[in-house]
Every structure is written in structure tokens, then in C-alpha cells.
Amino acid sequence: MKRFSFLFVVVLILSACNTDSSQELKLNELEYFERQGVNVLVYSNLFTGGFNDEKTAGIEIIHHGVRTSQGGAVRLSNTPEQWDLVPDIPVRTVNYEDKSIEAKLRYEQYDFDSRVVVKAKGQSVEISVYLDEPIPVELEGAAGFNLEFLPSQYWGKTFIMDGRIDRFPRYAVGNTITRPNSEKIEQYKGYVTADDRGTGTFIDPLPLETGRNFLMAPDDPERMVKITSHDTDLMLFDGRILAQNGWYVVRSLLPAGKTGKVLTWTIEPNAIEDWIREPNIGFSQVGYLPSQPKVSVIELDKKDKPLSRASIFRVNKDGSSSRVYTGNIEEWGDYFKYHYVKFDFTSVDEPGIYYIQYGDLITNNFIIGENVYDQITDATSDIWIPIHMNHVYVKEAYRVWHGEPFKEGYLQAPPDTDHFDLHWQGPTTDTEYEALELIPGLNIGGFFDAGDFDIETRSNISVVQNFVQTWEYFKPQRDQTFVDQDQRYVLLHRPDGVPDILQFIEHGTMQLVAQAEIIGHMAQALSNSVLYNYHHLGDAASITDGLPYNPELGPYEIAPDGKSSGVKDDMWAFTSRNPDLDLRAAAMFASASRALRGYNDDLAERALYQSKRLLEEASELRTDQQQEANIWGSGFADVSTNLQLYISTGEQQYADRFQELLWPALERNVGFVLLTALHGIPHMHESFKDELRPYVEQYRDYIEELEKDNPYGVPIGLGNWAGSGAIVNFGTTICFANKHYPEIIDANHAFKTTNWLYGCHPYHNYSLVATVGAARPKEVFYGNNRADFSFIPGNVAPGILFRQPDHFENYDDWPFLWGQNEGTIGGNTSYLFFGSAFKNMIDR
């Protein structure tokens, strides 16, 4: 009876949701299928050639405002992992007459083409796969059509397959089989991801269910989707069995030996009748100074009717609330998918606890007070940064964040190596070391790049520069980290008598000086040699066995003296020389030498020597290679390098070269170069400031144009990496421009950056920074602990990721998309610099 009753309720739900024939999916002018509450995108976002499957491409469903499904394509495995092959999409055709979108999918490696046609049929889309030639023999039983669903939106919910009821698992638990590696379709250069320790087999998850009619989440109308296969079975897999970032996969195999239309699915995402997305009330979760502008940006469904007024309530000491202000709502207009209005409550300036009410919606509380920004960088400097120190043991209270990584050091990457993280070793090593020879002395200092454990040299250069500028401008004396370089030991929350920022400068410079001295120039990266090490989650010290590889030993054998092993897990140094990178390093070394003077004089001298040497050699190399200076490469690096060398040495030749390069660079891109120019004001001749003034005025005009560009007034990024970095740089530039030109650049513009970072942005209103003081920070980030659905305090998310053609998103229940959730050492130290400059500005 219970089963009958449940199915009866499901039938009622389906009937109720299909009564309005006017709510059919339409192919809109943005080239996707749409009805209120449902968007179906068809290859609006393509698989990349770099990181392959980033879970942001293919056929995608945006369901009641959330992108819940993606990856729809012909794929070569049941649960594809990130580096598995993805199809090229050379042709995409939109046909408005028959309401269809067609795409050609090609696997060049197998000379295998298919066509996928998606057509609107009432409230459903029909997906058909066509083959002009039978699938290649080697892909029989491997090629199939997949569509992936976001686990965090479905776990715990029920599903029905051919009348059988079950529940999506919260945990990745299921049955698997093992098969010989020889049966694995080559997905990434012959590497089998699941074969971590040479077992000779790979893991293949078995389906959780199989059938022809699949109803997902009948217990949740916002997530209910009906899938019917007309030709072959549907199989439901849990992609998390092989990889924590895997999604639930619905899959049908393509038949062998057939051509024409070989597979047809009908997909009907449920749309709640008259559904309107709930307003997103943007505000600063950190709070506001009494004197600063206070403007809430409210994001509305275009079918929602804006209210005329909103109110501010104060939380009283007895726990009651009182309305203290009611103001008008001002229209801003449409921006991509949504409509925006603003609520200005600047006049509310009495310190206290408040919340916003817009209609029936009430936000969480925020604080107005003089000290709301006092601690905005503390978690970043006290926790996130020291946790990312490489080649040391890092402990916090009872918790060990990681042991000492990579004791065995780094091997020379072999020539002509194409790396899975987009590194490249050229035709030679550009060093005195042979392929796979140990390069001694590189396992010292430096910082993990991001959610992985490699050292990206370019990032580490910018990191040290950020630290130095923070130190030179603001001299932060904060000391909450114990660092012992001799013991290679770091303990959080324990002062040691030295400002932490100096120890961070030292730690980064040690690594980069070692590269310059031992390799002779800057390495591209120090990274993993095997893929299963690269996607390692957990303790960095357990990525490798800490023993140098010995080719005379058998696989996984340890030498009798315990000093080497037969495990091929040693990290590699990618050493192809890039003069632009050397120039950037020269700038950093010059500035680091100043900061280290009096603290570590030996390292300071070595850094200054390397700065001069690299500048000279890189300039010669660039001439030999006939490279032209440009704003994005050596031209901009030269600007900063010569300024830093002039500040360090006082030699006029560097000042002259700085100005020779600066003005053309400003003409090309004032927003990109202005901050470097502003750093030159205290060190150049008196007329320099006046000469720079027209460019500062251009920047003021740029700020004003941003107010017209989007409702937040900041430079929003629309690429595959969200825009927090550009917005932080925008805020830092405003702080310094206001310092030198307060009559041109209003300090209030800097609050646009803090507002954005702390919650006034599209999609949701959570703080993108896991900072002290934020009432509602994001709860998950893409860090090295992402499998725990957690975060590292002080992290700064890339932010609100744009998906073509009109969708912004930032998942706070799924950490695994790096373009929106991965904090980086470069980005987080830029935030440290911005936060220091911002606090200094509001204290002036």
C-alpha cells in the first residue's frame, strides 16, 4: 500500500505540472531552450583542450536558477574523470524553424564522429544521437551518451527507475569491478587514473540502476526530471566512486554496427507553475562603517515586480527589532539574466546590529561600527598563508595540516614533456642536468599554488612581491606564527618575536633564489610527474614516499639502507627558460632584497645579485629571440623590474628605463599598469606626479563607466576563471590613487570592492572571503581539503563564475569547480595587500 500511495502521489505531481500547455520550451535569441524555471543549454559552453572535463560544458540544465546538470555528450566511459578524453565540437548549428540545435562531436584520436540533435517538444527536449559511420570497433561497449547531475542537489532525494524506488546516496557507496589495463580505452596519454599503484587493473563502477524510464527527485518539484530512453537502457552511475568531484551520470551505450539515428532520449525538467526566483539581497556580510556608503543591490527575476521600498531594522539589546529606516528602491536595469534594483541606506549610521527587509524577505544580520574591517586580513595571514608553506611541517593546535613534503627533492623534467597541468618542457632541459636527474637543493621554501601542491613560479614571484609591498607600505607587526626554518617546522597561533610577513618574504625568496642559483634561471614550475599524485587530496607529505627514485630497484621496493626506492613518484622541475619570467623574478628579487635587509642579510644580497643578473641576461635573450616588448609580457615585466631595481640601488639607469617603458604601457592599458605607476611616485622626480595625472583622470572615467556597465560598479570577469582577482586589483588601485590624487579618485569607490567580496554580488549574498567578521561566509571552497566539503580560513574564492550566454553561479554546496571556488596563493596574497591598503585608507 505504501508503494502504491507513493506512486499515486507521483502521478498527481506529474499531472499537475503538465497542465499548462502554454509553458512550452522555446528556443530563444540567446540560442538555448527556455521556459520559466528551466533553461536547457546545448553546447553554449564547450569542453576545453586544457583541463578536458571541467564539469562546465556540453548539454546543461539550469533548473529553477541552479545549474544542476551538465556534460551531455557522447563519452567513452561510464563515469568520465577530468583528464578523460572529451569531444571537439567543430560545428554547432541553431535551427529556429524546427526549434533544434545540432552539434557535431569528434574524437580525433579514433576518427570517430557523431551528431547530437536537441529539439524542443512541448515541455521536453528530445536528444538524438546520429552516426554516419558505425562506431569504431575499439569503442564498442565504451561509447555512449552521458548526462551528469550535480550530487549535492540530489543526494538524499528519491528516484524511480521503471517503477522501482530508491534514493540517491549521500556517500559514494556502490559496487565496482576491476579490469585489466589493456581493456581501458586510452583516455589521457595512456595513463589509467584509477591504477594508482601499479595493480595492473582499473576500477569500473557498476550501475546503481538500469531501465528505460527514470524519474529523478519526485519528492522535490524544483529538481524533478523525467528521462525516457526510446532505444536502449538508461544506466545510473555514481561518478564519485572514482573521483570525489564526480557527478551522478545517466548513460546509454551506443549500439555497435549501426548508423543513422541510434539513440533517442526525452528529457522533461519539471517547472513549477508561476515560479519566480527569490530575490537575492546583496549586502556586506562584514558590515559597514557608520560614514561609508551603504547600498544593497537586489537581484530579481525578470518576471518579478520590483517593490517600491525596503526597510532597515535594528536588533535591540533585549532581542527585539525596531524599524529604523524605510527608503525607496531605485531601478538600475537588466544585466544578463536578471533585473537589478538598489536600496540606499547610507543615512543609517548609528553603530549596532541590523538587517534588511524587502517584502517578506529578511536577511541575516550585519554590523555597523567603526571596527568592522579591523580583522579582514587576519585569517588569511594567520592561517591560510602558513598552511600553504611548502617544504615544512605545519601544525595548528591538535591538527597537522601537512607534514614536510618532497624530502626527496625534484628531478629534471624530460625534454618534450607535455604535462597534464599545462606545463611544457621544451626540446632541451636548458640546464646542466640530464632528464630525470636530481636537481639538488630545490626542496626549500615556497608556497603551494592553490588546491594542489605544486610550486608555480610565476605565482610565487607575485606572492613575494605582494608580501614586500605590504611590508614596505604598512609595516604590519602581526606575529601569530612560529616559523623555524632549521627544523622546517611551522606552528599556527604561536608568536615567535618576528613579524609573520617578514618570515613569509623569507620563505618565498628562499625557493626562488634557489631556482636562480641552482638551475641558472627561473623554472616554469615544480610539479607532479604522475597524474595520480597531482589530484591527491590530503596530506601533502604523503604524495611521495620522501625517497629518491632508484631505477635499479624493483617497483615499490625500498633500498636496504632505506635511502631510495623503486617508486616513480618524485616531483619534476620544468626548466625551459622564459626571459619574461626571469624579468618578473628580477623585479621581485630587487624588492625582496630591501625587505630582508637587517633580517636576513645573506639572502638579501643573493636576491639583489640575482635581480641584476637575470635582468641583464633576460634582456639579451629577448633581443636574441627578437621578441617585442608588450604590455602582457616582457614590456610590463620590464616596467616593474626597473622601478624595483631603482628603488633598491638608486642607479639612474633603472629610473630612466622605467619611465621610457611606462608611458607607452599606460597608453595601451591604463587600468593594468596604473598601480605600478603609482608605486613610482615617491621615488621619481617632482614632475612625475603631474605627468601621471592625465592617466589617473582616465582611470576615474573608467570607474564611472563601470557604474553603467553593471549594477555593482566593479570589473566583473566573464571568463572561465571568476573575477575576484581583477576586483581586488581594482580596489588596491583606488586606494593608492586616492592617496596621491584624492581630488580625482574618491575613496568611496574602494567600498565597491569590499561590498562585492563580502556579499553584494550576483547569485547569492555569501562572503567570498572566509574572513573574520563575516556573518555568512561561503562554507565550501576548492582547497586541498575540498573532499571534506570544508574550507581553510582566510581563503578568497575566485567568485561568481559566468557561464555563457547569461548565467552567473557560485556553488556553496559543491567545492570542486576551481574557476569559482579555488583560492590561490597569488590571489590570497593580493587580497592581503588590498586589505592592508584599504584599512590604511579608511584610517587616514
Predicted confidence (pLDDT) per residue in 815-841, tens digit: 999 999 999 999 999 999 999 999 999
Pairing of strands 295-300, 280-282: antiparallel
User: Are 25 and 122 within 8 A, CB to CB?
Assistant: yes
> Residues 326-352: what's their mean pLDDT?
98
Closest CA to 52 of 109, 102, 100, 133: 109
User: Are 731 and 755 within 8 A, CB to CB?
Assistant: no
Provide the pLDDT confidence category of residue 325 given band limits of 50, 70 and 90. very high
pLDDT of residue 633: 45
User: Are 548 and 436 within 8 A, CB to CB?
Assistant: no
> Residues 706-733: what's their mean pLDDT?
97
> Residues 498-514: what's their mean pLDDT?
98
Class of domain 2-269: mainly beta
- 227's grid cell: 528521462
- List, for residues 401-413, the tens digit of each pLDDT value: 999 999 999 999 9
> Residues 148-176: what's their mean pLDDT?
96
Which of helix, strand or coil describes residue 818? Answer: helix
User: Which phi and psi angles does 597 have, rounded to 5°?
Assistant: -60, 125
pLDDT surpasses 60 at 9: no
**CA separation for the pair 301, 70 (Å, rounded):** 23
- List, for residues 375-411, the tens digit of each pLDDT value: 999 999 999 999 999 999 999 999 999 999 999 999 9
pLDDT of residue 178: 86
Helix H or strand E segment including 474: helix 457-474
- List, for residues 252-264, the tens digit of each pLDDT value: 999 999 999 999 9
Closest CA to 840 of 757, 753, 756, 750: 750
pLDDT of residue 507: 98
- 29's grid cell: 535569441
Q: Looking at residue 517, what DSSP letter applies?
A: I
> Residues 531-554: what's their mean pLDDT?
91
pLDDT surpasses 80 at 472: yes
User: Are 44 and 32 within 8 A, CB to CB?
Assistant: yes
Provide the pLDDT confidence category of residue 358 given band limits of 50, 70 and 90. very high
pLDDT surpasses 50 at 17: no
pLDDT surpasses 80 at 104: yes
**CA separation for the pair 828, 731 (Å, rounded):** 14
- What percentage of residues in the chain have a pLDDT greater than 70? 93
User: Are 73 and 116 within 8 A, CB to CB?
Assistant: yes
Distances (CA, A) of 429 to 143, 146, 518, 622, 774: 39, 42, 13, 19, 48
Cell 591538527, residue located: 399
- List, for residues 253-307, the tens digit of each pLDDT value: 999 999 999 999 999 999 999 999 999 999 999 999 999 999 999 999 999 999 9
Q: Which residue has the higher pLDDT, 619 or 806?
A: 806
**CA separation for the pair 836, 473 (Å, rounded):** 9
**CA separation for the pair 645, 643 (Å, rounded):** 5
Please write down the HEC assignment for all residues of 70-107. Answer: EEEEEECCCCCCCCCCCCEEEEEEEECCCCEEEEEEEE
pLDDT of residue 198: 56
- What percentage of residues in the chain have a pLDDT greater than 90? 87
Q: Which of 9-23, 451-465, 641-655 bottoms out in mean pLDDT, i.e. has the lowest?
A: 9-23
> Residues 561-573: what's their mean pLDDT?
95
pLDDT surpasses 80 at 697: yes
Helix H or strand E segment including 30: none
> Residues 406-423: what's their mean pLDDT?
93
- Residue type for position 167: R
Ranges in the chain annotated CATH 2.60.40.10: 280-368
pLDDT surpasses 60 at 246: yes
Provide the pLDDT confidence category of residue 463 given band limits of 50, 70 and 90. very high
Closest CA to 417 of 192, 196, 532, 575: 575
Closest CA to 57 of 75, 42, 40, 79: 42
- List, for residues 741-786, the tens digit of each pLDDT value: 999 999 999 999 999 999 999 999 999 999 999 999 999 999 999 9
User: Which phi and psi angles does 284 have, rounded to 5°?
Assistant: -80, 115
> Residues 5-14: what's their mean pLDDT?
47
Residue 369: other Cβ atoms inside 10 A: 17
| Burial category of 98 from C-beta neighbours within 10 Å (exposed 0-12, middle 13-18, buried 19 and up) | exposed
pLDDT surpasses 70 at 475: yes
Q: Looking at residue 127, what DSSP letter applies?
A: E
pLDDT of residue 624: 74
Helix H or strand E segment including 264: strand 260-269
Pairing of strands 209-211, 164-167: unpaired
pLDDT surpasses 60 at 6: no
pLDDT surpasses 60 at 364: yes
Provide the pLDDT confidence category of residue 622 given band limits of 50, 70 and 90. confident
> Residues 414-433: what's their mean pLDDT?
93
Q: Looking at residue 490, what DSSP letter applies?
A: E
Class of domain 280-368: mainly beta
pLDDT surpasses 60 at 553: yes
pLDDT of residue 203: 85
Ranges in the chain annotated CATH 2.70.98: 2-269
Which of helix, strand or coil describes residue 399? Answer: strand
pLDDT of residue 630: 45
pLDDT surpasses 90 at 230: yes
pLDDT surpasses 80 at 569: yes
**CA separation for the pair 221, 269 (Å, rounded):** 9
Distances (CA, A) of 585 to 457, 465, 589, 611: 9, 9, 6, 7
CA 427 to chain centre: 31
> Residues 437-442: what's their mean pLDDT?
96
